Chains A and B, each alone.
Chain A
Amino acid sequence: MADYKVVVSSSPHLKTAVTTPILMRDVVIALLPAALAAIVFFGMNALTVMLVSVVSAVASEALFQKITGKAVTIGDFSAVVTGLLLAFNLPASVPLWIPVVGSAFAMIIVKQLFGGLGQNFLNPALAARAVLLASWPAHLTAVVGPFDVKTTATALVVMKTGQGQIPSLFDMFIGNMAGQLGETSALALIIGALYLLARKVIDWRTPVSYLGTVFVLTALFGRDPLSHLLAGGLMLGALFMATDYVTTPVTKKGRIIFGVGAGLITVLIRLYGGYPEGVTYAILLMNIATPLIDRFTVPRRFGYVKRS
């Protein structure tokens, strides 16, 4: 009998060397400029919040997996990404138990209870932020300004209420403004996103259609589109949250629909809703719509001819 070296298996047969830990590590690297900017503008408080959030996210996941007797998967860096993204969505002056509760909610309720990485239908960091905002709005909306760490109105609150002065476009671009600690510096976020685009970790379609929709709609409604692009959590959301693999469409067309939908909801909430900022809810709502979008944008199979 000849010894055939043939392995019989089901598809896929082509595999890439890119694994979840590598992708997630790239995302962490891409978030570092924004983390650095946060420390520059908001001081050591920002660093503490980020560390507490990351550590508690990793610990919650490990603890849950230990208790339930599952394989501990904290080595894939996804908990680090979630912890960091959650911290980016909190003010630098937030009491430290907030990131602990938020991370635990994100990892246990949103991610692990639905089956862990790849099974969660909502972005864990954003879902945790929504819960924190609904529970302790005072802590989440008391955002501080850069350097002096005094509670200040964000540019979006100024735009909504018409009271106060919005920062100059240059300050908004580099991040010299009040906001959640990781969202203010568009510059740092864009540097990180360019790294991810160059490494082909994220797809340009979602961020471009998201930001484009916000730009066009705010211009159509007679607002200043540039300050709407740079204010609030839009850059962070469009570049890092709307490009999450698990909770956004896999098809190319679907990603554009996701971006346009998120942009539309964001603008509607910002201009006509009760809250000054709508990025969190926009992305969460589109997360929920993702399975539907995927279902309606299944690409044509190779060689398949539509029956007339």
Chain B
Amino acid sequence: MIGLFRDFANGILKENPVFRLVLGMCPVLAVTAAVENGFWMGMAVIFVLTSSNLIIAILRHVIPEKIRIPCFIVVIATFVTMADLVMNAYLPAIHVKLGIFVPLIVVNCIILARAEAFASKRPILNSIADGLGMGIGFTLALLVISSVREILGTANLMIAGNPVFTGGLGFEPARVMVSPPGAFITMGVLLGLLNVATGRGRLKS
């Protein structure tokens, strides 16, 4: 039980896929211009990551060593297609905004990394815990980055089509923050702040 919780909590801060492993940067940088996009991207990743971890953990003794990567990809691609079709059916507006980045979850490093490094070697429950933890860690990171970007870049926050701050926040939005350079700036500054806060990267004297 403690092991399960440790595997779950691991992905949230200690090995946060975005701020610690720095994996899957493509969606992190590309879809975080708005909180809503970040949230749904995170949901899709949680679903794919947990499901593929589960299946791969079940099949871990069946999959031949030499062709394990293609096998993982087949499993991952199946779940990504499911996520893609479900989003297309029930969240068409979000699906249009996320565009190519939903199918691209197939090649997202986090998912393959967890399959290879974790799920293919651990029991089923631990793999589920790891997938959930990593997915939630990824989602939290996306939420933090996208709220910084959306607030600074639009002086407001849109949730389910409604502005959170009626009339805006009273400053002129810095449009660079919702354009691609803003993603790099936000990501870099947040990563640095987190390292300072947790005492990482400090020179050993």
- A: residues with CB less than 8 A from B are 101, 109, 113, 131, 134-137
Q: Which residues in A have their C-beta under 8 angstroms from that of B189?
A: 109, 113
Q: Which residues of A contact B176 (CB under 8 A)?
A: 131, 134-135
With an 8 Å Cβ cutoff, the count of chain B residues facing the other chain is 12
Asked if B185 is an interface residue, CB under 8 A from chain A, the answer is yes
B172 interfacial by beta-carbon distance below 8 Å = yes
B39-73: CB near A (< 8 Å → 1, else 0) gives 00000000000000000000000000000000000
Q: Is B174 an interface residue (CB 8 A)?
A: yes
Known A109-B189, A135-B173, A136-B175; 18 more pairs at CB < 8 Å:
A101-B174, A109-B185, A113-B188, A113-B189, A113-B192, A131-B174, A131-B176, A134-B175, A134-B176, A134-B179, A134-B181, A135-B174, A135-B175, A135-B176, A135-B177, A136-B172, A136-B174, A137-B175
**CB-nearest residue of chain A relative to B172?**
A136
Complex formed: what's the CA distance from A136 to B177 in Å?
A: 11
What DSSP secondary structure best describes chain A's contact surface? helix
Write the chain B residue with the least CB distance to A137: B175
How many A-B pairs fall under 8 Å by CB? 22
For residue A100, give the distance in angstroms from its CB to the closest CB of chain B.
12
Looking at the assembled complex, report how far the CB atom of B198 sits from the nearest CB atom of chain A, in whole angstroms: 16
Q: Are B192 and A131 in contact (CB under 8 A)?
A: no
Which residue of A is nearest B152, CB measured?
Answer: A135
Q: What is the bound-complex CA distance between A134 and B152, given in angstroms?
A: 13
Q: How far is the CA of A131 from the CA of B175 in the complex (A)?
A: 9
Residue of A nearest to B175 (CB): A135
What is the CA–CA distance of A115 and B192 in the complex, to the nearest angstrom? 13
Which residues on B sit within 8 Å (CB–CB) of A131? 174, 176, 181
B185 CB to closest chain A CB, in angstroms? Answer: 7
CA distance in complex: A137, B174 (Å)? 10
Pairs A–B under 8 Å by Cβ, sample size 18 = A101-B174, A113-B188, A113-B189, A113-B192, A131-B174, A131-B176, A131-B181, A134-B175, A134-B176, A134-B179, A134-B181, A135-B173, A135-B174, A135-B176, A135-B177, A136-B172, A136-B175, A137-B175
Q: Which residue of A lies closest to B188 (CB)?
A: A113
A134, A135, A136, A137 — most chain B CB neighbours (10 Å): A135
A131 to B178, CA, bound (A): 12
Residue among B172, B173, B177, B179 facing the most chain A CB atoms (10 A cut-off) = B172
Across the interface, which residues of B come within 8 angstroms of A113, CB to CB?
Answer: 188-189, 192
Residues of A within 8 A of B192 (CB): 113
Across-interface contacts of A137 in B (CB, < 8 A): 175
- B contact residues around A134 at 8 Å (CB): 175-176, 179, 181
Q: Give the distance in Å from the alpha carbon of A113 to the alpha carbon of B179 in the complex.
A: 21
Q: How far is the CA of A134 from the CA of B172 in the complex (A)?
A: 13
Say how far A216's CB is from chain B's closest CB, in angstroms: 32
Nearest CB in chain B: distance from A107 CB, A: 14
**How distant is the Cα of A131 from the Cα of B188 in the complex, in angstroms?**
16
Residues of A within 8 A of B179 (CB): 134
Top 5 closest pairs, chain A to chain B, by CB: A135-B174, A134-B176, A135-B176, A135-B175, A131-B176
Complex: A129 Cα to B203 Cα, angstroms? 33
For B196, the closest partner residue in chain A by CB is A68
A66 to chain B, nearest CB (A): 15
A131 to B192, CA, bound (A): 20
CB closest chain-B residue, reference A105? B185
Nearest CB in chain A: distance from B188 CB, A: 8
CA distance A134 to B192 in the complex (A): 24
Give the residues in chain B near A101, CB-CB below 8 Å.
Answer: 174
Within 8 A of A (CB), among B169-205: 172-177, 179, 181, 185, 188-189, 192
Nearest opposing residue in chain A for B177, CB measure? A135
- How far in angstroms is the closest Cβ of chain B from A60? 15
